[in-house]
Amino acid sequence: MDLKVDSFVYAYLVAPSKYEAALLKTKSDYIAGEVRAKELTITGDGTKIEPPYYTKKWEINGTSFEFGLCETSKLAQKRPAAKTTKVPR
Protein backbone atom coordinates (compact mmCIF):
# COMPACT_ATOMS: atom_id res chain seq x y z
CA MET A 1 0.00 0.00 0.00
CA ASP A 2 3.08 2.26 0.16
CA LEU A 3 2.05 3.63 3.55
CA LYS A 4 4.34 5.78 5.64
CA VAL A 5 5.68 3.93 8.66
CA ASP A 6 3.67 6.19 10.99
CA SER A 7 0.38 5.93 9.05
CA PHE A 8 -2.80 4.81 10.73
CA VAL A 9 -5.41 2.62 9.07
CA TYR A 10 -8.86 1.20 9.50
CA ALA A 11 -8.71 -2.58 9.55
CA TYR A 12 -11.39 -5.14 8.76
CA LEU A 13 -11.09 -8.86 9.44
CA VAL A 14 -13.63 -11.39 8.17
CA ALA A 15 -13.42 -14.82 9.77
CA PRO A 16 -15.17 -17.85 8.25
CA SER A 17 -17.53 -18.22 11.23
CA LYS A 18 -18.70 -16.49 14.36
CA TYR A 19 -16.60 -18.94 16.38
CA GLU A 20 -13.32 -17.88 14.72
CA ALA A 21 -14.41 -14.23 14.94
CA ALA A 22 -14.92 -14.61 18.70
CA LEU A 23 -11.44 -16.10 19.06
CA LEU A 24 -9.90 -13.23 17.07
CA LYS A 25 -11.75 -10.66 19.17
CA THR A 26 -9.84 -11.88 22.22
CA LYS A 27 -6.67 -10.65 20.46
CA SER A 28 -8.16 -7.50 18.93
CA ASP A 29 -5.95 -5.07 20.86
CA TYR A 30 -2.83 -6.93 19.75
CA ILE A 31 -3.97 -7.12 16.10
CA ALA A 32 -4.95 -3.45 16.02
CA GLY A 33 -1.61 -2.43 17.50
CA GLU A 34 0.38 -4.50 15.01
CA VAL A 35 -1.30 -2.88 12.01
CA ARG A 36 -1.61 0.60 13.59
CA ALA A 37 -5.40 0.50 13.30
CA LYS A 38 -7.45 3.41 14.56
CA GLU A 39 -10.40 1.04 14.36
CA LEU A 40 -10.53 -2.73 13.90
CA THR A 41 -13.73 -4.48 12.86
CA ILE A 42 -13.93 -8.25 13.24
CA THR A 43 -16.86 -10.19 11.84
CA GLY A 44 -17.70 -13.79 11.14
CA ASP A 45 -20.73 -13.31 8.95
CA GLY A 46 -19.17 -13.44 5.47
CA THR A 47 -19.21 -9.67 4.98
CA LYS A 48 -17.81 -8.54 1.63
CA ILE A 49 -15.06 -5.94 2.05
CA GLU A 50 -15.36 -3.24 -0.62
CA PRO A 51 -12.98 -0.53 -1.85
CA PRO A 52 -11.33 1.68 -0.71
CA TYR A 53 -10.05 -1.21 1.44
CA TYR A 54 -7.00 -3.11 0.23
CA THR A 55 -7.81 -6.77 0.88
CA LYS A 56 -5.89 -10.02 1.16
CA LYS A 57 -7.11 -13.54 1.83
CA TRP A 58 -5.18 -16.08 3.88
CA GLU A 59 -5.63 -19.82 4.19
CA ILE A 60 -4.73 -20.95 7.70
CA ASN A 61 -4.96 -24.70 8.28
CA GLY A 62 -7.45 -24.97 5.42
CA THR A 63 -9.62 -22.11 6.73
CA SER A 64 -9.99 -18.86 4.76
CA PHE A 65 -9.73 -15.42 6.41
CA GLU A 66 -9.95 -12.03 4.69
CA PHE A 67 -8.19 -8.93 5.96
CA GLY A 68 -8.71 -5.38 4.72
CA LEU A 69 -6.82 -2.16 5.36
CA CYS A 70 -7.66 1.39 4.43
CA GLU A 71 -5.78 4.59 5.14
CA THR A 72 -7.72 6.76 7.55
CA SER A 73 -7.59 9.64 5.05
CA LYS A 74 -9.25 7.54 2.31
CA LEU A 75 -12.17 6.25 4.31
CA ALA A 76 -14.40 9.25 4.60
CA GLN A 77 -17.81 7.63 4.25
CA LYS A 78 -17.67 4.10 2.91
CA ARG A 79 -17.33 1.17 5.31
CA PRO A 80 -18.64 -2.37 4.97
CA ALA A 81 -22.09 -2.69 6.51
CA ALA A 82 -22.15 -5.53 9.00
CA LYS A 83 -23.00 -6.48 12.53
CA THR A 84 -19.55 -6.11 14.02
CA THR A 85 -17.58 -5.39 17.10
CA LYS A 86 -15.42 -2.32 16.63
CA VAL A 87 -12.35 -1.76 18.73
CA PRO A 88 -11.45 1.95 18.79
CA ARG A 89 -7.74 2.73 18.98
The contacts of residue 22 (CB under 8 Å, 6+ apart) are: 44
SS3 4: coil
Q: Tally the domains of the chain.
A: 1
- Tell whether 80 is covered by a domain: yes
- Identify whether 69 is part of a domain: yes
Nearest to 43 by CA among 77, 88, 87: 87
pLDDT average, residue stretch 43-51: 87
Whole-model pTM: value is 0.75
Where are the alpha helices (H) located in 1-89, listed in sequence order?
18-25, 28-35
21 in any annotated domain: yes
C-alpha span between 51 and 57 (Å, rounded)? 15
The count of residues in the chain is: 89
Parent domain of 56: 9-88
pLDDT at 2: 79
Residue range 6-19: mean pLDDT, rounded:
93
